Amino acid sequence: MNINVNDYLIVATIIFCIGALGVLIRKNLITIFLSLELMFNAANLGFVAVSEYLNLMSGDIFVIFIMVVAAAEAAILLGIAIAFYREKGTIDIDKANELKM
């Protein structure tokens, strides 16, 4: 059987769902960020697969911009994690509750 675009999209969906589950259930800030990266990568895979299927290049250009955003996000996350750790002594996001009523 031949591999078509749907198979790539199904793999991308599985990885995206795993990433979303990680964001929902984990407490650790670093692991949540890694799950976000998984979701970014699943979106990238979908873009490239559809772009190859439709013989377009726009999806591949989008992937490059998504990589730029992910890199910027990684740098910001490092700063936030250090500031949060300095404040609280942990990176458990359940401790980020200053806005609690």
Partner 1 sequence: MEALFYIFSIIAIFSALMVISVKNPLTSALYIILCFFALAGFYILLNMQFLAAMQILVYAGAIAVIIVLAIMLLNLAKTKGAIKDFHQLVIGIIAVGLLFLEVILYIDAAGEKKPTGIYTNAIINKVGNTQIIGEFLFTKYVFPFEVASILLLVAVIGAYIFAKK
How many beta carbons lie within 10 A of that of residue 84, not counting itself?
Answer: 17
Rounded Cα–Cα distance for residues 90 and 74 (Å): 19
Per-residue binding string, partner 1, 19-38, x by CB under 8 A, is xxxx-xxxxx-xx-xxx-xx
Q: Is 97 in the site for partner 1 (CB under 8 A)?
A: no
In the complex with partner 1, the residue whose CB is nearer, 9 or 96, is: 9
Rounded Cα–Cα distance for residues 43 and 19 (Å): 11
The minimum distance between CB 100 and partner 1, in angstroms, equals: 16
Is residue 5 within 8 Å of residue 53, measured between CB atoms? Answer: yes
Phi, then psi, of 92 in degrees rounded to 5: -70, 120
Binding site for partner 1 (CB under 8 A): 1-3, 6-11, 13-22, 24-28, 30-31, 33-35, 37-38, 41, 44-45, 48-49, 52-57, 60-61, 63-65, 67-83, 85-86, 90-92, 94
